[in-house]
Amino acid sequence: MKLKVAIAMAVISIVMLCIYGADVIVANGSKTGFLPMDVSVRGSIFGIIPSAMLIISFFITRKEPSKKLGMLIIIGGVLILAGTGIIVAMQSAQSQDTRAIREMGAVLGIGIIIAILGAIKIRKS
């Protein structure tokens, strides 16, 4: 039962990350995309929540082997890494202050950790 819940959480996280990425691409550097919300609210809902759900899905099934869940967690981590790369590429180097660079570094770190958790899940399967 825990495995099914974790897989559902991982799939929902991937869908939310894809929606977030599409909104960022549509916004193309402006404040809003097709989601009618502020940048920070959009990041909290469609960035932090899916990241937390991926991490939780790993830990609630830490003793249960599942290559499928491991792959979903890796996909989520890669989406976070790719999304961060797209955001950095879309912004000009001059518009990035030190706070934004630190935030991007933190997001990259979270994406790497999530991808590593997925690899651990696959390895234990």
Q: What is the pTM of this model?
A: 0.89
Mean pLDDT of 44-51: 92
Using H for helix, E for strand and C for coil, what is the string for 43-106?
HHHHHHHHHHHHHHHHHHCCCCCCHHHHHHHHHHHHHHHHHHHHHHHHCCHHHCCHHHHHHHHH
List, for residues 79-121, the tens digit of each pLDDT value.
999 988 877 777 665 566 677 777 888 889 999 999 999 999 9
In the chain, domain spans:
2-124
Q: Are 115 and 75 in contact (CB under 8 A)?
A: no
Mean pLDDT of 72-81: 96
Q: Are 53 and 12 in contact (CB under 8 A)?
A: yes
Closest C-alpha to 121, from 89, 75, 52, 87: 75
Q: What is d(CA 83, CA 87) in angstroms, rounded to the nearest whole number?
A: 6
